[in-house]
Amino acid sequence: MAEDRIPDDDLLIADTGEVEVRPDDRVDDERHDQENRLKPAYVSAVHIALEAGDKGAVYDLVEPLHAADIADLIELLDRSERAQLASAISDLMTSDVIAELNDYVREDLMDTLSAQAVAVIAEQLDTDDAVQLIEDLDEADQRAVMAELEPETRAAVSSALAYPEETAGRLMSRDFVAVPEHMTVGNLIDFLRDEGDLEHDFFEVFIIDEGHHPVGTCALNWILTTPRSVRLTDLMQRDQTLIPVTMDQEEVALMFQKYALISAAVVDESGRLVGQMTVDDVVHIISEEAGEDALLMSGAGDGDINEPLREAFSSRVRWLIANLGTAVVASSIIALFGAAIEQLVALAVLMPIVASIGGNAGTQTMAVAVRAIATNQLTRANTRRILWREFRVALLNGGTIAALIGVAAGLLFSPMMGVVIALAMVINIAVAGLAGVLVPVIFERLDQDPAVASSVFVTMITDSMGFFAFLGLAVAAGLAPL
Amino acid sequence: MAEDRIPDDDLLIADTGEVEVRPDDRVDDERHDQENRLKPAYVSAVHIALEAGDKGAVYDLVEPLHAADIADLIELLDRSERAQLASAISDLMTSDVIAELNDYVREDLMDTLSAQAVAVIAEQLDTDDAVQLIEDLDEADQRAVMAELEPETRAAVSSALAYPEETAGRLMSRDFVAVPEHMTVGNLIDFLRDEGDLEHDFFEVFIIDEGHHPVGTCALNWILTTPRSVRLTDLMQRDQTLIPVTMDQEEVALMFQKYALISAAVVDESGRLVGQMTVDDVVHIISEEAGEDALLMSGAGDGDINEPLREAFSSRVRWLIANLGTAVVASSIIALFGAAIEQLVALAVLMPIVASIGGNAGTQTMAVAVRAIATNQLTRANTRRILWREFRVALLNGGTIAALIGVAAGLLFSPMMGVVIALAMVINIAVAGLAGVLVPVIFERLDQDPAVASSVFVTMITDSMGFFAFLGLAVAAGLAPL
């Protein structure tokens, strides 16, 4: 009595009624809060047990956790406590825990282990996770660990490491199921019962020709709903998305999203099947790629709270120095108008407002453009239309803000000051709208990541234009001398 | 000869050698560029054929495209051309195309169709996609479309609409496979061959008790690799992640990521199985949730390039007005120091530098904190540690920038000016580091989305503190009078 589409009458609630979210519907136990995070009280219980050196108590506390939660717990602890915890719960430190750990935390933990111990862990991992573990080590450690691996694992890992970072070749799993064209559904099931293991999950079976080239793919649910006698070549989908082994992870992620893939075949330069990518690995990439733009735009580099202090400093200070350069450019424009400011201090009071709102408007447009470029929505085919759209949004925004500040400045200072600041505001917000689209688009065409450097340029343009338009118009209007 | 882990000797490339990404390895055909986007030349060919009214030519151009690419093409065209294209290729406008369309574009397109036509499309969609189509319509249209639906679809859609937006109840699929506990692998396969359809993909089978409560789950690959005689209860995994029907989509997405799920059972208030969520739907949520923080932080609202102009204006201008308020606060601090600026115009020239770098440093820290909160990495259990970490990064950054600007200002203006600006810079960057963590953390504790309003507050703090510290120190040092 399996059901496909259960017509569940009890569930039919009146069209208009809304179901309220009650707090007690949510995850909530003695260890997790409602949002499925470990409770601070639980984390400090572990902390106290570690401090007391009570390994038994630590073990009892951690034992009921899921591997992903153990990884979270390790990340939440102080750096000094992490190795201590790992040794107290050594048999709970499964490959799943290691695979779920934040890259920086894992690297740090691996540094405390011998090459042999790391190799033992790598052997238990899926090849793609083993690669991730080993690629983070420095070169000497990498070589030491590789030397300790079984030949088969070593071969898989070194073949992965031969591909550039963040490509399908690095990330793909070398565990997949591929069968020849002549098989029937029955043959396949018999084969899987004989040969398959329960260890490696797979979601589709690839059909390959004699040259190892994929010719089609069968989802497992198709196989399960089809009589034994049907030939796989009659069931399979011929039109499949193939991932070239050198494809960048960002493009892989976009492919999975665009075509709603669960898994996909990875092929080498000659089109032969060499691995598969599965969606559970790709979700991490999607989340990382979508989330990193906010960090890159703010100049926060990797922006991981587990990043070592020195790396966080060096990636962020670089952008602050760049920002220092652009701020100096903007302030040299102010210097041109020194006499005007000396005469009329109100100019110094009001000028940061024009620059600040312009910067904000530019950042809004830039964030929209960067996101649209990242999701392949803003392309050469519609750049002109989007530029025109953003320019109109900017004029509406500029008009509104100009009216507000113009009236206020007109009343507080002088009517002419109101006109000057309103005009400067419209000009600066319009320029911000254009720069917010053009700067990321230009970086993209130059094959640079538009998220990385757009912010510095957009801010420089809006700051400089804000000071120049406002002070320049004030001088032109005769409010102050040049 | 299926293979699990193919030991593929040809693939073994020397440890040290790197494989270069060659442009010709990538997707590239007459319609797609290397990054799998539609080529501008192709889009304008469609545009020209539409303008000429040549439906046959349009059809021939579009016919070879995948559904997801047809959706992309519609989005790339001007608004006026979209309905025109849809009518020219009506039999290619499958439910897959509709499901892949951007929300705004779909809504716009649906507005051009009759309720009956929309109902016909909704019937072809999976229930979750039908819900997405119908929930976007305004209330009158919603009712008209609902009236045209088959009773079964209407029941499913109205039960979904009874749940709040962005909850599992709205998003789940009502098509899933659930079987009773007594079944064996053989029974299940026989049942699926009799009853299953090839239309709805599924990745696991849920085992339920007599009360419809899920008791375990079997991945399809386990079923395929297990002999017919094994009981499902012996094969299934008892420990499964259940999604409450009222769970917010953001939490669902985090669950899928944390536990690497492909699909998961959705249960109602009494723990009965009512639907499933599958990862192909969740990837869109993951991408949306991760990507929206950059947009929210910049105050760009939904930030979708297909959003109607009026909505884009109203969501953005709101934040610009808020920013106007905070800029006025900062500029009122400048007004306090009018006499000082009149005496020493250099202060007006240098003060925006202190405010700007502080703002940038605050935004960096804030972006890191917001991302860490969104991914459940920054919780009550480690807030103090992260605050301390960010403060130390800020001191390092502040020291570096202060040294640079201090020396420059010391040489260009006066040694005391160098000291003043350096001190002000350290103070402002340190404050920025603290505010960058505390503001989003406080919003989170107040149950507000930290991405939404943090930016305005952080900028206000860094702007005001920048002006106050710099101008105040200048007066205190005797560089200028108050």
Identify which of A169, A201, A326 has the shortest CB distance to residue B219: A201
Q: Does A350 touch chain B (CB under 8 A)?
A: yes
CB neighbourhood size of B150 (10 A): 11
Per-residue confidence band for A25, with pLDDT thresholds at 50, 70 and 90? very low
Tell me B63's DSSP state: T
In angstroms, what separates the C-alpha of A330 from chain B's closest C-alpha?
A: 8
Say if B305 is an interface residue toward chain A (CB within 8 Å).
yes
Instruction: Give the nearest chain A residue to B258 (CA atoms).
Output: A68
Quickly count: other Cβ atoms within 10 Å of residue B20's Cβ: 9
Under a CB-based contact definition with an 8 Å cutoff, are residues B129 and B98 in contact? yes
The structure tokens 């825990």 sit at A97
Distance CA A256, CA A268 (A): 19
> Backbone phi, then psi, for B346, in 5-degree steps?
-55, -30
**Structural domain contains residue B426:** yes
Cross-chain Cβ contact B324/A357 below 8 Å: yes
Q: Is A400 inside a domain boundary?
A: yes
pLDDT of A93 strictly over 90: no
Confidence of residue B198 (pLDDT cuts 50, 70, 90): low
- If residue A380 lies in a helix (H) or strand (E), which one and from where to where? none
Contacts of residue A441, defined as CB under 8 A and 6 or more positions apart, other chains included, come to: A369, A373, A378, A383, A450
**Residues B271, B191 within the same domain:** yes
Residue B304 has what DSSP assignment? -
Task: Write out pLDDT tens, residues B278-288.
Answer: 998 899 898 88
CB B283 within 8 A of CB B291: no
Q: Are A359 and A462 in contact (CB under 8 A)?
A: yes
- Same domain, residue pair B89 and B237: no
Average pLDDT, chain A: 89
Quick one: average pLDDT of B203-220?
Answer: 94
The alpha carbons of chain B give a radius of gyration, in whole angstroms, of 30
Residues of B in contact with A447 (CB under 8 A): none
* Inter-residue contact B200 to B179 (CB < 8 Å): no
Lowest mean pLDDT, pick from A78-87, B18-27, B341-350: B18-27
Per-residue confidence at B126, pLDDT binned at 50, 70, 90?
confident
A263-313: per-residue pLDDT in tens? 999 999 999 999 999 998 899 898 888 888 889 999 988 889 999 999 999
The domain boundary residue, chosen from A269, A297, A325: A297
Q: Are B291 and A375 in contact (CB under 8 A)?
A: yes
Q: Which of A5-14, A182-191, A232-241 has the lowest mean pLDDT?
A: A5-14
- Which chain A positions have a beta carbon within 8 Å of B225's beta carbon? 192-193, 196-198
> For the domain that residue B213 is a member of, what is the CATH number?
3.10.580.10
Q: Which helix (H) or strand (E) element contains residue A318?
A: helix A309-336
Single-letter code of the amino acid located at B67: A
Same domain, B363 and B426: yes
- Identify all chain B residues contacting A265, using CB atoms and an 8 Å cutoff: none
Q: The CATH number of the domain where B74 resides is what?
A: 1.25.60.10
Containing A147, the helix (H) or strand (E) segment is helix A139-148
Chain B residue with CA closest to A194: the answer is: B225
Q: What are the counts of helices (DSSP H) followed by strands (DSSP E) for chain A? A: 22, 6
Which residues from chain A sit within 8 angstroms of residue B345, using beta carbons?
A: 338, 341-342
How far is A356 from A354, CA to CA, in rounded Å?
Answer: 6
Q: Do A13 and B294 touch (CB under 8 A)?
A: no
Q: Does A251 touch chain B (CB under 8 A)?
A: yes
Q: Examine the domain organization and report whether B152 and B250 are in the same domain.
A: no
- The answer to whether residues A422 and A341 belong to one domain is yes
| Residue showing tokens 């990054």 | B35
DSSP string spanning A91-127? GG--HHHHHHS-HHHHHHHHHTS-HHHHHHHHHHS-H
> Cβ contact (<8 Å) for B279 and A274?
no
Q: At what angle do helices B346-374 and A309-336 cross, to 10 degrees?
A: 150
pLDDT number for residue A14: 27
CB contact under 8 A, A294 and B299: no
B293–A contact, CB cutoff 8 A: yes
Q: Are residue A148 and residue A257 in the same domain, yes or no?
A: no
Q: How far apart are CA A260 and CA B279, in angstroms?
A: 9
Domain of residue A448, CATH code: 1.10.357.20
Q: Can you tell me the distance from the alpha carbon of B33 to that of B25, in angstroms, rounded to the nearest whole number?
A: 12
CA dist B320 and B299 (Å) reads 8
Strand residue runs (E) in A270-366:
273-278
Q: Which of B132, B366, B240 is nearest to A298 (CA)?
A: B366
Domain with B217, as residue range(s), is: 178-295
Q: Which of B264, B295, B326 is the last residue of a domain?
A: B295
Q: Which residues of chain B does A268 touch, with a Cβ-Cβ cutoff of 8 Å?
A: 11
What was the ipTM of the complex prediction? 0.86
pLDDT digit string (tens) for A209-262? 999 999 999 999 999 999 999 999 999 999 888 999 999 999 999 999 988 899
Measured distance CA(B207)–CA(A397) in Å, rounded: 56
* Residues 73-112, chain B, touching A (beta carbon < 8 A): 75-76, 78, 100, 102
Average pLDDT score over chain B: 89
More confident position, A29 or B350:
B350
Using the Cβ of A211 and the Cβ atoms of chain B, whether some distance falls under 8 Å is answered with: no
- Is A298's CB within 8 Å of B248's CB? no
Same domain membership, residue B259 and residue B383: no
Judge if B217 and B313 occupy the same domain: no
Task: Name the residue with tokens 């949730």.
Answer: B289
Domain count, chain B: 3
Q: How would DSSP label each residue in B250-301?
A: HHHHHHHHHTT-SEEEEE-TTS-EEEEEEHHHHHHHHHHHHHHHHHHHTT-T
Determine the residue among B19, B63, B319 to mutate to test chain A binding: the one whose Cβ has the most chain A Cβ atoms within 10 Å. Answer: B19
For residues B429-454, give the mean pLDDT: 94
Q: CB of A115 within 8 A of CB of A147?
A: yes
Report the pLDDT value the prediction gives residue B28, as an integer from 0 to 100: 58
Contact at CB, A294 and B297, closer than 8 angstroms: yes
> How far is B193 from B205, CA to CA, in rounded Å?
14
B427 part of contact set with chain A, CB < 8 Å: no
Report helix angle A279-297 to A450-476, nearest 10: 20
**Which pLDDT score is estimated for A18?**
37
Q: What is the dihedral of CA B374, B376, B378, B381, to 10 degrees?
A: 150
Q: Which of residues 130-189 of B touch A (CB under 8 A)?
A: 146, 152, 155-156, 158-159, 161-164, 167, 169, 174-180, 188-189
Q: Tell me: do A466 and A319 sit in the same domain.
A: yes
In a domain, B184, yes or no: yes
Tens digits of residue pLDDT in A360-412: 999 999 999 999 999 999 999 999 999 999 999 999 999 999 999 999 999 99
Give the strand order in the sheet containing A273-278: A242-244, A263-267, A273-278
Q: Are residues A398 and A470 in the same domain?
A: yes
pLDDT band with cut points at 50, 70 and 90 for residue A6: very low
What Cα–Cα distance (Å) separates residue B152 from each residue in A396, B123, B149, B346, B454? 46, 10, 8, 75, 46
- Residue at B162 is within a domain: yes
Residue B366 to residues A136, B354, B432, B478: CA-CA distances in angstroms?
27, 18, 9, 35
Q: Do A299 and B400 touch (CB under 8 A)?
A: no
Q: Tell whether A240 lies on the interface with B, counting CB pairs under 8 A.
A: no
Alpha-carbon span A365 to A360, nearest angstrom? 9
* Residues making up chain A, counted from first to last: 482
On whether any CB of chain A is under 8 Å from the CB of B284, the answer is yes
Residue B173 is assigned to a structural domain of this protein:
no
User: Would you place residue A5 in the very low, low, confident or very high pLDDT band (cuts 50, 70, 90)?
Assistant: very low
Contact criterion met (CB < 8 Å) for A367 and B44:
no
| Residue A237 within a domain | yes
Domain boundary among A243, A274, A297: A297
> What distance in Å separates the CA atoms of residue A466 and residue A351, rounded to the nearest whole number?
7
DSSP code per residue over A433-475:
HHHHHHHHHHHHHTTS-HHHHHHHHHHHHHHHHHHHHHHHHHH
Distance of CA A353 to the CA centre of its chain: 33
Confidence grade of residue B475 (pLDDT, cut at 50, 70, 90): very high
> If you ran DSSP here, which 8-state letter would residue A26 be given?
S
pLDDT tens for residues B286-305? 888 888 888 999 998 888 99
pLDDT at residue B281 in the model: 84
Other Cβ atoms less than 10 A from the Cβ of A30: the count is: 8
Task: Tell me which chain B residue has its CA closest to the CA of residue A318.
Answer: B397
Is A302 a member of any domain?
no
Name the β-bridge partners of B273. B267
Same domain, B360 and B433: yes
Q: Is residue A1 part of a domain?
A: no
Contact list in B for residue A202 (CB cut-off 8 A) is 221
Whether chain A has a CB inside 8 Å of the CB on B252: the answer is no
Measured distance CA(B37)–CA(B272) in Å, rounded: 43
Residues B252, B105 share a domain:
no
Mean pLDDT, residues B132-159 taken together: 91
More confident residue, A26 or A37: A37
B361 touches A at CB < 8 Å = yes
